Structure 1
Amino acid sequence: MVRIFRLCICLLIAGLFLVGQGQAASAGPKGELVIGTEAETSSLDPMKAWVTYGLIVSRLLYDAPISFGPNGELTPSLAEKWEIIDDNTWRFHLRKDAKFHNGYPVLAEDVKFTVERIQDPANKCRFRTRYANFKEVKVIDDHTFDIITKSPDSLLPNRVAFFVRVVSKKWVQENGKNPFAKTAMGTGPFKFVSWSRKDRMVLEANPDYYLGAPKVKRVVIRPIPEMAARMAELRAGGIQIATHVAPFLIPQLEKDPNLNIQKVPASRTLFMVMNTRDVEELKNPLVRQALNYAIDKMGIISGIMSGLGNPVGLPAPPTVAGVDKSIAPYEYNPAKAMELLKKAGYADGFELNVYSPSGRYPMDKEVAQAIADQLSQVGIKAKLKVMETQKYFRTYIKHKMKGIALIGFGYAYADQDSMVNFLLSNATYSYFTYPGMDEMVAKMRSELNREKRYQTAHEIQRITHEKCPMLFLFNLVNVYGVSDKVAGFKARSDDFFDLNQVTVR
């Protein structure tokens, strides 16, 4: 009898254990989330994934010491805390429970190695110039490091958060010349599974993520450049989230009981960069001002963007920290445009290439077509040149756009500082050179006092507005279509995805 009783107790305990195991398993990551995007990353190497969707994917696979929260605030990530030691030294303290996806610990030496990869000219990192002021990353111990700068840098934590996606020194050195050719090895909430270019990338939840495992087991990112195809997939259930919904489609999608529409003002502004170095006519600031007066921005916003957007007089939205809100947009005044063209010696106009990507931004080629049409009304013979997105940006960064080029720029630093990437003489995005600009930017960036820094920033912005190396357009609104099977997803103004709390039923 005693034996039978003991056996029953053992079976009961075993049963409770199995139930507990089942409950634990059910609490783990589950389900699959499919996201339809307008473009894809260019590389699995975070140092080379510089376009928007490269940054988005890198953020899922790799962590930086610091992250940007949904409102642009700086939050701890691989680093638990950081502080200023002196004007040229910032100290970071890494958490001790963070690991790479293969189990290697995250060490200060890995951060040093990551920064030096970015800075090495041989690696041709597009963002290398943003870290030119970093003199040294000094390892204090396994979990502490200093970043020492050549001059004070008020936005150093923002720069670290933006692009210092930490890779394992040991793993990179173990895996040959091009370790990221077919795989990724990071510390982020998701692990790499596979990538079929122009078709899909598959990620899976990192169950050992130091901030807690994601709730969704698999994430599939499908590049679907054509808006109509992306929306059709959303309505058919082939994808659960569609990025950058075209404004004119919003009323239709809002009627679908199985979908939710999320809108958030973007930290991204649409403008056209003018090649002031190679195009003779665009070297004249009067011509550049004329182009700004020639465009009916409100007409484009109401007619093409369904009212989503506000005109700007700078390549930044007024909501970004440090932007001079007193700078107004150029008014629509075609008579003034023709007067300025005549004054500049181009009364009969001239030929001008108008470049646009296809499907990268909401209604991008339609906006570019409208600009070309309106320029023709003031005598400029505009030729529209539309390119596939990846080819477009490869051409752009090689400085081969001989005309004006449509750009939608997002403020990942959550500060006006990013604007100068279109103003510095040696910056990747810049087609502009202005006497004294590089020195003014250096002065702004080295000023640790916020008020004084923004005084210099406003001076730079006034010059930018007056000399207009861009055709200023309007800020964007991010619109996402989301299946009602998805919970926990919240659109961000900076385009990034927070997927850790997302579930799919």
Structure 2
Amino acid sequence: MRLFRTAAVLLAGAVAATACGTAPAAARDSVVIAVNPEPTTLNPVLGFAPYGASKLFDGLVALDDKLNLVPALAESLPKASEDNKTFTYTLRQGVTFSDGTPLTAEDVAFTYQSVLDPKTNTTMRTDFAAVESVRTPDPRTVVFQLKYPYATFPQYTGLGIVPAHLLRGKDINTDGFNRKPVGTGPYKLDSWQAGERMVLTANEKYWGGAPKVKKVTLAFVRDDNVRATRLATGELDAAAMPPRLVDRFRNQPGMSVRSVPSADYRGIMMPMGNPVTSDNALRRALDLVIDRDAMVKGILGGAGKPAFGPLFAESKWYEKSIEHPVDLPAAERILDEAGWVKGPDGMRRRGDTPARFTVMYNAADTVRKDIALAFSSDAKKVGVDVAVDGLSVEALQKRMDKDALVMGWGTPYDPDFITYKIFHSSFAGKGWYNPGRYHNPTVDKLLDEGRTTPDEATRVGIYKSFQKEQAADPAWLFCVQLDHVYVMADAWNGLQQQVEPHNDGLAHGPWWNVEKWVPKQ
């Protein structure tokens, strides 16, 4: 999620000299991109860019601009056994790591075995819970044997492959590789100044062809307004922007505004450790008072749509019946029946407990701030007092098991990818995964069935049932599904649009295929 420890910084003069508007188009073989968050590691085993597109690493497969699975380090998509329990990959010939070492099947096996090793501190292990073994019959062949049928398993094998020769026998949790990695990707790490920037340079021996953009500088800039200022002054070539800050760039020569559809949602995470937010009736009532249309229009400037659940609304997995209009009378009835009684001041309480809680938001994120304020206003209409509190990431992390929080997640991929970690009780309290410690046995059962059932039509039904159950016992009060809006220098050909997940950084955004860009002449 976009709540990480970073600091907005000025780039050095040498970087600014190649930034937007200061160099001829023919010389634009470098790009400066503002990103947030700053990664905490560059090791795929520990969760860096887990679904591919990291630029430093390749997986066995990747996703194209239509989100179709395509071969990457594998020469073709895997061969599946009839029971969907065995998947066989054949590696491309001639692929090397950036240190010149050839890629072999042993590197692939080592990568996945490291994820599965209980001593590895990674939240990704559950993604590969189906894996029983990884075999390497020869240097170019990798065979995954699963414990149960899992037809969607290949979608997970975009995981970046790490070199066994550099990590075998090391403590993968703390090794220096995590900040100075070696991969097979189109770019290599040149430098990383924590809290400031990361510089990548082209891997001239990349198996997919040497990139035309030779240097990619990632500036870690958390604050929306700071990003807008840096874009306007020419220190950045590209950045994600909240919709209300992009108008100044629409008619600026040499700049373009791009709106990209995404599965990225924002909602109010309601913690179960709070006596008010843990009340099912209060959560259901507040779900009915959120004016989502007003949020889309006023906060997003129309760049998005109302959100009612955690799955991508344009996908086959989505359950449309969970959608509903604003219904204040129904919300009032639910609260009345649950014993939340209005006092003379119009605010509710149940016994000695006032219907009052706090919604936190990342103080640097203007969209989250506006959502928190709008939600507070809507809740007050039915007598619920919601305070808003903009905090640093460090401060809100200490309170998110007790105070509500404006959060974001979402993926256009298979629903198992993120949904399991956000709503399954086994992830309760594990960082940004299920921070409110939501526990619903029916939800757990459906999510377990969703990842173990081989038949796709049956899985669609399971995830539709999951959405209905979550709507009846909401862990989150979903608000909006965003279009991602970017401001970019109009200096390259080859940009392709891709429906995006929540995650950003270099892995996602209009720059997801930067290795294929060509400077405009």
Instruction: Settle same-fold status: TM greater than 0.5.
Output: yes
Partner of 1:269: 265
Structure 2: gaps (5+ residues): 1-25, 342-347, 350-354
1:41 matched residue in structure 2 = 39
Q: Residue 313 of structure 2: SS of its match in structure 1?
A: coil
State the distance in 1 between where 2:150 and 2:133 align: 13
**2:351 paired with 1:356:** no
Of the two, which has the highest radius of gyration? 1
**What is the SS of the residue equivalent to 1:353?**
strand
Q: Structure 1 121/29 Cα, relative in aligned 2: closer, same or farther at 3 Å?
A: farther
Matching residue within 372, 395, 398 for 2:376: 372
Relative to structure 1, is the Cα distance of residues 55 and 145 closer, same or farther in structure 2, using a 3 angstrom cutoff?
closer
Contact 1:320 1:415 in 2 (8 A): no
- Does residue 329 of the first structure (1) align with residue 335 of the second (2)? no
Corresponding residue to 2:336 among 319, 334, 342 = 342
Instruction: Label 1:45 to 1:395 Cα distance change in 2 as closer, same or farther (>3 A).
Output: farther
**Residue 393 (structure 1) shift:** 8.3
The residue number in structure 1 matching 2:193 is 196
Q: Deviations over 1:457-481 (max 9, x none)?
A: 2111211222222101121101111
Deviations 1:70-93 (A, max 9, x none): 222111111122011243111111
Q: Deviations over 1:231-255 (max 9, x none)?
A: 2222222111112x22112332112
Kindly report which structure 2 residues correspond to 1:125-204, keeping only aligned pairs within 5 A, or say none. Answer: 125-161=122-158, 164-173=159-168, 178-204=175-201
Which residue does the alignment assign to 1:444?
450
In the alignment, the residues of structure 2 paired with residue 292 and residue 370 of structure 1 have an alpha-carbon distance, to the nearest angstrom, of 13
- Decide whether the 8 Å contact of 1:265 with 1:477 is kept in 2: yes
**Rounded Cα–Cα distance in structure 2 between residues aligned with 1:485 and 1:92:** 38
1:297 to 275, 292, 295: 292
Please name the residue that 1:23 is paired with: none
Q: Distance in 1 between matches of 2:362 and 2:235?
A: 25
> Do the aligned residues in 1 keep the contact of 2:262 with 2:499 (CA within 8 Å)?
yes
Change (3 A) 1:175 1:31: farther
- Per the normalisation by structure 1, the TM-score is 0.86
Aligned with residue 260 of structure 1, among 256, 259, 264: 256
Deviation (angstroms), 1:260 = 0.7
Amino acid at match of 2:452: S
Distance 2:63 2:255 in 1: 28
- 2: CA distance, partners of 1:261 / 1:157: 34
Aligned to 2:513: 498
Distance change (3 Å), C-alpha of 1:392 and 1:258: farther
* Percent identity between the two aligned chains: 23
1:290: how far off?
Answer: 1.0
Structure 1 residues 110 and 269: CA distance shift in structure 2, 3 A: same
Q: Give SS of 2:336's match.
A: helix
Task: Call closer, same or farther: CA 1:436–1:296 in 2, change over 3 Å.
Answer: closer
Alignment partner of 1:475: what SS? strand
Shift of 1:42: 1.7
Question: Which stretches of structure 1, 4 residues or longer, exceed 6 Å deviation after superposition?
Answer: none
Task: Determine whether 1:487 maps to 2:493.
Answer: yes
Q: Which residue of 2 aligns with 1:288?
A: 283
* Alignment partner, residue 425 of structure 1: 425
Q: 1:241 to 1:417 in 2, by over 3 A?
A: closer
Are 1:91 and 2:88 an aligned pair?
yes
Could you tell me whether the CA contact under 8 Å between 1:297 and 1:311 is conserved in 2?
A: yes
Task: Write the distance in 2 (CA, Å) between the matches of 1:209 and 1:371.
Answer: 49
- Offset of 1:194 from its aligned partner? 0.6
The 1:114–1:417 alpha-carbon spacing in structure 2 relative to 1, beyond 3 Å, is closer
Q: Is the 8 A contact 1:316 1:475 kept in 2?
A: no
Contact 2:27–2:519 (CA under 8 A) maintained in structure 1? no
Give 2:264's aligned amino acid. R
In the superposition, relative to structure 1, how do residues 39 and 490 fare at CA in structure 2: closer, same or farther (>3 Å)? Answer: same
Q: Contact 2:264/2:409 (CA < 8 Å) preserved in 1?
A: yes
Contact 1:38 1:359 in 2 (8 A): no
- Counting matched residue pairs gives 465
The alpha-carbon deviation at position 167 of structure 1 amounts to: 0.4
Return the offset for 1:386.
2.6
Q: Deviations over 1:17-46 (max 9, x none)?
A: xxxxxxxxxxx9972110012332121222
Distance 1:372 1:47, change over 3 A: farther
**Equivalent runs, 1:223-238 vs 2, <5 Å:** 223-238=220-235
Q: Is contact 1:206-1:214 (8 Å) kept?
A: yes
The residue number in structure 1 matching 2:8 is none
Letter in 1 for 2:258: Q
Question: Are 2:470 and 1:470 aligned?
Answer: no
Matches of residues 300-315 of structure 1 in structure 2 within 5 Å? 300-315=295-310
1:280 partner SS: coil
Cα distance in 2 between the residues matched to 1:316 and 1:106? 36
Partners of 1:241 and 1:481 within 8 A in 2: yes
For the 8 Å contact 2:87–2:145, the answer to whether it is kept is yes
Q: What letter corresponds to residue 235 of structure 1 in structure 2?
A: A
C-alpha contact 2:307 2:478 (8 A) present in aligned 1: yes
Q: Which residue of 1 aligns with 2:311?
A: 316
Q: Tell me which moved more, 107-116 or 210-219.
A: 107-116
Residue type of the partner of 1:476? L
**Cα distance between partner residues in 1 of 2:442 and 2:470:** 13
1:403 and 1:178, CA in 2 relative to 1: closer, same or farther beyond 3 A? same
**Unaligned ranges ≥5, structure 1:** 1-27
